[in-house]
Amino acid sequence: MNLDKEPINLIITGVGGQGNILISKLLGQAFMEEGYTITIGETYGATQRGGSVASHVRISKEKVPYSPVTPKGRADIILGLEPSETMRMVTSFGYEGTMVVTNTRPIHPLEVAIGEVEYPSQERIEACMKELVDRAWYVNASDIALGLGNALLTNIVMTGALMGTSLLPLGREKIERQLKLTFKGGKQAVNLEAFELGYTAVT
């Protein structure tokens, strides 16, 4: 089910250090090679490591680029590397047609760690998603990445999951090509495996 609209607004969200900017670069380069016009805008929280990071990827068939930040309530796809950050983006940029693909492993902010606030349960998150968006896919990408020996592979697992949903008008081989260009040797093999495991997690 490829989305067919102009532009496609994809937001990749997480916290600093999770690698969502790499995802936007892999997708952006792959779409540009297919002749699309890509605009990428990034927003950061108070700190880069541990703070909110969102990449807005606007995918267009037109030759004139769109503004770098998705308007409120216009995100077609939200790819979340951290559940509470996914919810934050849904409440600001989602609408009833939004599709969500999110990691289920939380990264607790300082306020949760010191007991000032309570992190929402997975059940509460799923109930909110059911009410607010068209469809959501839940992937335990962090555990999959840890199974491959490196939590940093979570972003590649989630990239595979996004491609497994078939929401984007792009074949999986285009992203695999970008992974092969980006990583060499053993890093290439494990990143391709992470992508495959994410892909099959939703198909």
Using DSSP's 3-state secondary structure scheme, residue 58 falls into strand
d(CA 70, CA 48): 21
- Retrieve residue 113's tokens: 């760690």
Residue 152 DSSP code = G
Cα(104)–Cα(125) distance, rounded to whole angstroms?
10
User: What residues contact 91, with CB distance under 8 A and at least 6 apart?
Assistant: 132
Q: Which pTM was predicted?
A: 0.94
pLDDT one-digit tens code per residue, 33-88: 999 999 999 887 654 456 889 999 999 998 888 999 999 999 999 999 999 999 99
Per-residue model confidence as pLDDT tens digits over 118-153: 999 999 999 999 999 999 999 999 999 999 999 999
CA dihedral 115, 118, 122, 126 (to 10 degrees): -160
Amino acid at 103: N
Can you name the residues that pair with 15 across neighbouring β-strands?
52
- Cis peptide bond N-terminal to 7, omega within 30: yes
Mean pLDDT of 176-187: 97
